[in-house]
């Protein structure tokens, strides 16, 4: 039997990196939840760009602090600040607690004066799914869309129905379908895994802003990204899909040349969206 508390400790120990000296980090709240605000301490970085980041961890583990290095890699291309949300985690807080928190955070940013044309969203794995769900919910609530979104290895099909769940099983060095089954069981807690707000690969994606999706070719979650991109494109959403050969789930963590290049492309994508050049 896996212990969520132990899983969280292991995940944090494996991935957390020091905050660089040129970064100011501060604890804040957003949408009623704790959050981490990050700013680059450098001349000319007092602009109004806002990056809202949702961390990964299968809806069970992870935190804003654990994935701060990914948030910062994107923030370095922006002129402003990043806010990474500590949404509620399962099994203590199952679905829909996390998407409720994420929408509340997005709504508060808008209510506090953030210009949606200067606002972008990003997330990895479960956080990437929450980014998509947040935009869907915001659209349905009549809220303005952000300028764009970056999605790293989105976990958008909790039914595990993608062909890569079989074809990449044994190739993926991080996950098996059984691993994901455990995480999603904690999150959905017996609910409907195929609903659009649980598995946005099955949702209506019309009206979303331009998306950049990055995924590794070795992932059992590969087809989550591929199908999400296809459905978004079919719904007239501008979408760019990057499949990086030989790379695993959220490979942007690993510090390799491919990871650094992918983060650079993602940051440039967001910067171009904020400048209206893409």
Per residue in 42-77, pLDDT (tens digit) is 766 668 999 999 999 999 999 999 999 999 999 999
Which residue from 30, 198, 29 is spatially nearest to 104, judged by alpha carbons?
30
Q: What is the average pLDDT across 32-49?
A: 87
- Cα 103 to its chain centre, rounded Å, is 13
Domain boundary assignment for the chain: 4-275
Maximum separation of any 2 CA atoms in the chain, in Å: 51
Residue 6 pLDDT > 90? yes
Residue pLDDT, tens place only, 122-179? 999 999 999 999 999 999 999 999 999 999 999 999 999 999 999 999 999 999 999 9
Which residue from 114, 156, 159, 163 is spatially nearest to 136, judged by alpha carbons?
156
Which are the catalytic amino acids?
125
- Percentage of the chain exceeding pLDDT 90: 95
pTM: predicted TM-score of the whole model, two decimal places: 0.97
Residue 268 pLDDT > 80? yes
The answer to whether domain 4-275 has CATH 3.40.50.1820 is: yes
Instruction: Identify how many contiguous H helices and E strands the chain contains and give both numbers.
Output: 8, 8
Query: How many CB atoms are located within 10 Å of the residue 198 CB?
Result: 24
């Amino acid at each position: 039997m896996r212990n969520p508390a132990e899983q969280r400790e292991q995940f944090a120990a494996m991935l957390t990196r020091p905050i660089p000296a040129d970064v100011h980090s501060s604890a804040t709240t957003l949408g009623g939840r704790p959050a981490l605000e990050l700013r680059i301490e450098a001349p000319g970085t007092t602009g109004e760009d806002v990056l809202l980041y949702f961390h990964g961890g299968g809806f069970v583990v992870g935190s804003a602090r654990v994935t701060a290095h990914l948030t910062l890699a994107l923030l370095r291309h922006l002129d402003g600040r990043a806010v990474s949300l500590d949404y509620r985690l399962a099994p203590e807080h199952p679905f829909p607690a996390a998407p409720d928190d994420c929408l509340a955070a997005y709504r508060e940013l808008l209510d506090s004066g953030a210009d949606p044309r200067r606002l972008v969203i990003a997330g990895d794995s479960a956080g990437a799914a929450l980014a998509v769900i947040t935009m869907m919910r915001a659209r349905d609530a009549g809220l303005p869309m952000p300028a764009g979104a970056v999605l790293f290895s989105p976990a958008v099909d909790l039914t595990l129905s993608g062909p890569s769940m079989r074809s990449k099983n044994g190739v993926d060095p991080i996950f098996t379908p059984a691993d994901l089954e455990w995480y999603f069981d904690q999150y959905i807690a017996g609910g409907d895994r195929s609903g659009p707000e649980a598995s946005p690969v099955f949702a209506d994606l019309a009206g979303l802003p331009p998306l950049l999706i990055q995924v590794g070719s070795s992932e059992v979650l590969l087809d989550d990204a591929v199908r999400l991109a296809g459905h978004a494109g079919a719904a007239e959403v501008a979408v760019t899909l990057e499949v990086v050969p030989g790379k695993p789930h959220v490979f942007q963590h690993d510090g390799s040349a491919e990871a650094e290049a992918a983060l650079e492309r993602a940051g440039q994508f967001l910067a171009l969206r904020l400048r209206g050049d893409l």
